[in-house]
Structure 1
Amino acid sequence: MVDHVWSILLGLMFIFLYSQSSIIKPKQLSILKFFSWVALPIGIVYLLMLPLGINNSLTLYKNINNQFTNQQAQQQEQLQKVTEKLKTVNSQQELTNIANSLNLQNEIAASKSPQDLKNKIYQQIQTSAQNAVSTANVAKREQIKNLIKTAVRINLGAIISGVCFIILWRLTRWTRIIEKNVG
């Protein structure tokens, strides 16, 4: 709504600029008066959209935080399950199955003992967890940055649009008082 308001404002400006310098017929005057009065409530509506836009931005920010918190909790839970499973495993075959499920074929071949393989799997799990956390934080920062950009653009556009419509209403006062001078 805010993105496309400029064409409406520009159109109204052209209508009033053209009409101000020419002879106005009574039918045109009533249309101009209508457009002049419509500009005021539209401007007020755009200014009243500002708290709504800020509230929506804050809600989206909370949703982004909740989404990433839930995602982190799920990853921690999965990490905990694999770590607990790794602690209870004693046989070479079970360790090999865990390593295969984690795509650690190189570690299977390089390990000499089950304890060595267990340590390598544990290190790989910790590295993967740290990488997942840092990747999630980068994605979260990017989403928040995009949210801030969009919120500022829309809220600033709403303020400017509202003020422009009210200024247009103020500048077109002549259409609302012209009848008094003619009659």
Structure 2
Amino acid sequence: MNASQARLSLVAKHLTTSSSPTNIVRTATAKPPTFRERNDYKYFLPIQTRWTDNDQYGHINNSIYYHYIDTVVNEYLIKYCGLDPLDKSQTKPIGLVVHSSANFYAPASYPSVMEAGLVISKLGKSSVTYRVGIFEKKSNNGNNDEHNLASVVGGFTHVFVDPKARKPVVSLPTEILAGLQPLIV
């Protein structure tokens, strides 16, 4: 038996002995984080639901949550990062969504106020990945009770590009970076 065959024989022997029922070691697998807790987020925006947000089943339609996610991200970019959606100069980079996702955990319905929590989960040279938790605020006898677990957790990734050439920027402008820094986790 040559050296290669000997190594293969050892690997085969290891696989057959380590997979026998007496040698199997079961370990608990950790659940991946869901980022549902309110303290997972750094910035919050209240959003009033509308009658038209409800679907035929009496809860907020899944697609509407993407509106909420888009609202909190762009409101933050306008308020803290210098985004000007009405800027006609075409000199500042614009963010294009290249990926989006959402996980749905609990229904919510109109009338209620949702709070969209925001953090930056990844910051690249030309891209930003946002994580958003959508929390429902309940009104109980005039008191607003905050839910500490998100109904929905989602987000998206922006790639910032030159508005004319639509090519990714070499690096994010200083104003955008400075505005995003407080949200990085």
Q: TM-score, normalised by structure 1?
A: 0.21
Higher relative contact order (CA 8 A, sep 6+): 1
Larger Rg: 1
Task: Give me the TM-score of the superposition, normalised by structure 2.
Answer: 0.20
Which one has the bigger strand percentage? Answer: 2
